[in-house]
Every structure is written in C-alpha cells, then in structure tokens.
Structure 1
Amino acid sequence: MKIQSNNVLLLIQFLTLHSLIVLSASQDFDFFYLVQQWPGSYCDTQQGCCYPKTGKPAANFGIHGLWPNRNDGSYPSNCDSSNPFDASKISDLTNQMQSDWPTLACPSNDGLTFWGHEWDKHGTCSESVLDQHAYFSTALKLKTQIDLLNALQSEGIQANGEKYSLSDIKDAIKGASGYTPWIECNNDSSGNSQLYQIYLCVDSSASGFIECPVFPHGSCASSVEFPSF
C-alpha cells in the first residue's frame, strides 16, 4: 500500500511539474504577429501552388498564422507536444477557415495539415491565453477587423501585376487600420520582388491590434509587384 501511495505521489509531482513547464513555455511571449499572405504571390513562383480540394480560393489575403513573438525578435515554438492538433475541436470553424485560411501547398489537400502545423508550432505556445478552438477563432475574427485588400484598393493599389511603391502600400494599410504593417516580399519566377505577406501586431491577450514592438528581418525592393490571382 505504501509503495502504491508513493507511486501516486510521484505521478502527481510529475504532472504538476509538466503543467508548470507547459504554462511557463506558453507564457513566454510578448505579442502576436497576425500574418496574411497574398495567394497570387504564393503561386507566382517557380515552386508554384495547388488549389485546395474545395477549389480555387477567393482573390483575397488569407491567414498564414497567428504567431507568438517576443520583444527581442525571437519567438517560442512547438511548446506542448502533449496537446497536438485535433480537427474535431474546430469542426464548427472549418467552412470559414477554408475561405479565410486556405492552403495552397502541393499536393492539393483539405487544409488540415497546414492548420495542424500552425497549431503545433505556434498555437501551443499561446495556451495560457488561447485554447485550440480560441486560437483559430481569434485569428479569423482579427482578420475581419482590418480588410487589407480593400485598404489597398481604396488607394488605387490593385492586384493586376503592376508595380507599386512599397511606402504607398504601407501608408494605405496604416491609413485604413491605424497601425504600421511589416511587408514581406518574395520573388516571382522571373526574379521580380512581389508583395507576399503582411504582418500586423496583436497584444499578448490576443484582444486587439497594437503597434509592432519589433519587425522581422528582411526587406523588399522600393517598388513591388502586386500579382493577380
């Protein structure tokens, strides 16, 4: 009986220690990046793309992820292997995610691999604030609060393959949202710089947008293509 009691005590101590480790890791961030990508730029590269099984996504920015980040520019990742992605927990969000968080990876798929990667790598590091359902629903809600495509189109910046000033792109988004974005570019199959991803920052409680404490590394050309899709 004494041996059994000792085993129970050891198990409780182990679970407590594990919970503290997970909680510590999940709190180790200062803000989030909400990252949205332009599908035309994802597809217009030598790598190419594949449309989801549900068909070609709308010509709009789609969520890449909601990423916990630190003020020094570093970020936590893969914080809790004991809580893997479970598609059943977001079954009520699937339709909206297929629209607003589509996958373009090859071969064509239903998005679960993409969403699972985002949860396992980034979402598990925000468990002190967001459970699995809240992680995805919060990102979807934040996306609707700032319409990036409309912000650009309102300033005459169209997804038509033309080049636009990088500063004009930033000004258009800041003018519509009130927050300074960070722009990530990639190169098309001819090596031209193109508008790829837009980063906006969210506070550590994931309740609203803030000015970014720090921007990622990297740069774009002074003028970039905005390819059609």
Structure 2
Amino acid sequence: MKPNFSLLSRLIVLQCLSVLCCSQDFDFFYFVQQWPGAYCDTKHSCCYPKNGKPAADFSIHGLWPNYKDGSWPSNCDPDSVFDKSQIEEVIGNMEKDWPSLSCPSSNNLRFWSHEWEKHGTCSESELDQREYFETALKLKQKANLLNILHDAGIKADDGFYSLKRIKEAIKKGLGFTPGIECNVDSRHNSQLYQVYVCVDSSGSDFIECPILPKSKCDSQIQFPKF
C-alpha cells in the first residue's frame, strides 16, 4: 500500500507551523505613557501615591507585548510573581516615572505587580523582570513627550489642539507615528490621555506600529492642566 504523502505532508507542515507559533511569543511592544491631568479630571478622579503628587509629566502606564493582528498575550506565567527586590536599584526612578494614580492611595507596588504579571510575564523570552522595568524606564527617557509637544507649541494649559497636529509633533520628535487615546473629562471634553509608541520585541528601538489602537478622539482635543 502506497503511503499517503499528501496527508503526511500536511501533518509535517502543521507540526512545523505549531513549532513556529510557539517559538514566536509576540511581535512587538506597545510602550504606553499617560497624561496625569487627563487621568485625574474624569468623574473617577484619582489618588496620588503615598510618596506625593507626581510631577506634571507623562508617566509610564506599561510596556505591553502585542501581535501584529491586533491581539495580545496576557498573564503568561502564573508562577512568575512580582518581586520588589528585582527593582530596588531603580525604585526612585520607578516612583518618579511610573506612579500609580488609582484609588486608594498606594505605594505603587500593586500597580507594578499588575503590569509585570499581566504583561511582563509575556516578554520573559526577551526580558527578565529587572530588565523589563529597566527597559521601560529607558524608553521613557528616549520618548520625552512633554518636551516634544512643548517644542511644537502644544502645552498642558487646558487649551484645545488638533489631533493631527499632536500626532505630527510626536512623529517629528520620535520618527514614528504614535497612537493617541483620549478620554472624557467631567464636562465631556475629549482630551489627550495616552500615547502609544511601538517598540521592537527586544525592547531596544522604536518602530513604526504594525497596528495602532482605534482612536476615539475628537478632531480637536484638550490638553488639560495637572
């Protein structure tokens, strides 16, 4: 009896594809920064960390592994829990650049633990826990959004600016097109909330985003004071 090479070939291809998919954990990162003024003036309000009110600057929300089809992995390793000792050397920078604004007021550890366990564990093929947080801090230094916008005449003064102008300013400053997320304040104004920039899977370099999150912004958005 002749072997069924067609079936055998299909099985081999499927096996290879399975191995390939398993070896490719994610395609790129979203590096997400949020504007505290937009976080705090919604109906949910905010609470400052126990170490005090953060600076009037964009802060890190997260470094999130993503796939090119728009989906993303999460909670990839239940056994890899957040360990504060891994970030002791950069705790001061973490408190400055990655503060929690959620209520009740906290020492930030709950926020950082959530980010590691939901997102960071999905990057362990590239970054261990210490490297994950240090990488995000380095990206924050490279993407100084407040300076970029200020240089373009866009200031956190409660003024309204065109969404197009904000995107163009950030693209000019970083070299790549950002994703902009808006939220709504208590007066129902659309306002600048979060900025998404894409990073290669090693966490080293900014790249053009394979896919951007859907924007729910008005054409003119407010840049609220903080």
Q: If the length of structure 2 is used for normalisation, what is the TM-score?
A: 0.89
* SS across alignment from 2:168: helix
Q: 1:169 aligns with which of 161, 166, 169?
A: 166
User: What is the Cα deviation at residue 92 of structure 1?
Assistant: 1.1
Distance in structure 1 (CA, Å) of the matches to 2:97 and 2:216:
26
Per the alignment, residue 27 of structure 2 pairs with 30
Q: 3-state SS of the aligned residue for 1:75?
A: coil
Mapped to 2, the partners of 1:60 and 1:47 lie a distance apart of: 20
Does 2:200 match 1:203?
yes
Shift of 1:159: 0.1
SS of the residue corresponding to residue 169 of structure 2 reads: helix
Per-residue deviation, residues 81-108 of structure 1 (Å, max 9, x unmatched): 0111111111111100000001101111
* C-alpha displacement of 1:206: 0.9
The structure 1 segments of at least 4 consecutive aligned residues displaced by more than 6 Å after TM superposition are: none
Question: Which residue of structure 2 lines up, in the alignment, with residue 81 of structure 1?
Answer: 78
Tell me, yes or no, if structure 1 residue 107 matches structure 2 residue 109.
no
Following TM superposition, by how much is the alpha carbon of 1:174 offset from its aligned partner in structure 2, in angstroms?
Answer: 0.6
1:133 aligned residue: 130
Which amino acid in 1 is paired with 2:151? Answer: S
* Contact 2:163/2:218, CA 8 A, preserved across alignment: yes
Which amino acid counterpart does residue 205 of structure 1 have in structure 2? Answer: S
Aligned equivalents of 1:105, 1:204: Cα separation in 2: 29
2:200 and 2:57 map into 1 onto residues whose CA distance is 25
- With the length of structure 1 as denominator, give the TM-score of the two structures: 0.88
1:41 positional shift: 0.2
Structure 2: gaps spanning 5 or more residues:
1-21
Residue 157 of structure 1 aligns with which residue?
154
Cα root mean square deviation, aligned: 1.4
Alpha-carbon distance, 1:218 to partner = 3.3
Q: How far apart are the structure 2 equivalents of 1:74 and 1:217?
A: 13
SS at match of 1:198: strand
In structure 1, the gaps of 5 or more residues are 1-23
1:91 aligns with 2:80: no
Separation of aligned partners in 2, 1:176 and 1:89: 32
Q: 2:204 aligns to what SS in structure 1? A: coil
Which whole-Å CA distance do the structure 1 matches of 2:122 and 2:42 have between them?
31
Identity of aligned residues (%): 62
Q: Aligned partners of 2:146 and 2:67: how far apart in 1? A: 28
